[in-house]
Amino acid sequence: MIENPYTEKLRELKEGKIKEIIVEAKDFPAFREVWKDLPDRMDIVGEAGLNGRIVYRYVKTEE
């Protein structure tokens, strides 16, 4: 089975190893497949850009 590349990218984002993930429109279904199962998915904030590009950043919310 081929691992989804966004599994590793989202882990790195949450750990602070990377600041953002850029997701192109064609790659969104693969991103969403991993994102939807994360318990803290609401802390991953997307900013829409041009041509369907979305920049995701990890913004930890205080409880």
pLDDT in tens, 1-50: 678 999 999 999 999 999 999 999 999 999 999 999 999 999 999 999 99
* Mean pLDDT computed over 49-56: 94
Copy the structure tokens of residue 40. 């803290």
- So what's the pLDDT on residue 60? 82
* Residue 61 pLDDT: 74
- Quote the pLDDT of residue 48: 96
* Domain ranges, ordered by start, for the chain: 5-58
Distance (Å, whole) CA 63 – CA 53:
30
The DSSP element (H or E) to which 22 belongs, if any, is strand 21-23
